[in-house]
């Protein structure tokens, strides 16, 4: 063999392998960057429930009971008492947890720090600084109750919630 002939070698040399590996890595990076760019054109959207919703007819609610039908979807309890109907915001005024209605004890109890609230929302135990808030409730033209979560009645401590915002109670 003379010095001008090339040596027989495998399919790729080491240099060819690392060159192709580098270009492959660059291509993968470009592909993931393109996918990320395309994904950013479709943002993740958080859908919130509507601020106003129909809650049935006033006669659907039993006198003296707390209705939990809308607690999961709208975070609202609807209570019917002799004075009328009112919609309580199911959010503890301490740290925002969702209290539980305990019918045997006739009170709301927050599982986070033990705040307790009477049926009308008045706080009586635990660290909650004030009563539960209420939403506006009214009767629509078709006779159904409409709860408007955009109109919040923020209760102050030490004053009966029924006296603070008489408009928060629907006389029925």
Same domain for 13 and 96, yes or no, is: no
pLDDT for residue 3: 54
Give 162's contacts (C-beta < 8 A, 6+ positions apart).
Answer: 83, 120, 169
pLDDT in tens, 125-143: 989 899 999 999 999 999 8
The CATH number covering residue 119 comes to 2.102.10.10
Same domain for 117 and 148, yes or no, is: yes
pLDDT band at 35 (very low <50, low <70, confident <90, very high): very high
pLDDT in tens, 36-54: 999 988 888 877 878 899 9
pLDDT in tens, 84-123: 899 999 999 988 889 999 999 999 999 888 899 999 888 9
Question: Does residue 2 sit within a domain?
Answer: no
Total domains in the chain come to: 2
Where does the chain have alpha helices with state H? 14-40, 71-74, 161-164
Same domain for 16 and 79, yes or no, is: no
Question: Does residue 4 sit within a domain?
Answer: no
Handedness of CA 58, 76, 156, 102 (dihedral sign): positive
CB atoms < 10 A from the CB of 108, how many? 25
Question: Does residue 83 sit within a domain?
Answer: yes
CB atoms < 10 A from the CB of 14, how many? 9
Same domain for 67 and 125, yes or no, is: yes
- Domain boundaries, position 150: 52-168
Question: Does residue 111 sit within a domain?
Answer: yes
**SS3 (DSSP) at 58:** helix
Q: Residue 48 phi/psi, 5° resolution?
A: -105, 150
Same domain for 38 and 108, yes or no, is: no
Same domain for 90 and 123, yes or no, is: yes
Joined together, the tokens standing for residue 70 give: 């809308």
Question: Does residue 126 sit within a domain?
Answer: yes
């Amino acid at each position: 063999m003379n010095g001008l002939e090339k040596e027989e070698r495998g399919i790729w040399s080491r240099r060819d392998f690392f060159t192709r590996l580098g270009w492959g890595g660059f291509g993968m990076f470009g592909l993931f960057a393109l996918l990320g760019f395309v994904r950013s054109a479709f943002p993740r959207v958080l859908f919130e429930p509507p601020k106003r919703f129909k809650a049935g007819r006033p006669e659907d609610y039993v006198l003296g009971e707390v209705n939990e039908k809308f607690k999961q979807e709208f975070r609202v309890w609807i209570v019917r008492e002799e004075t009328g109907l009112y919609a309580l915001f199911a959010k503890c005024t301490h740290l925002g947890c969702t209290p539980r209605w305990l019918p045997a004890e006739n009170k709301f109890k927050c599982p986070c720090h033990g705040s307790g609230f009477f049926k009308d929302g008045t706080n009586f135990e635990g660290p909650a600084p004030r009563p539960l808030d209420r939403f506006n409730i009214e009767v629509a033209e078709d006779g159904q109750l409409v709860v408007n979560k955009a109109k919040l009645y923020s209760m102050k401590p030490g004053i009966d919630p029924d006296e603070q915002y008489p408009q928060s109670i629907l006389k029925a």
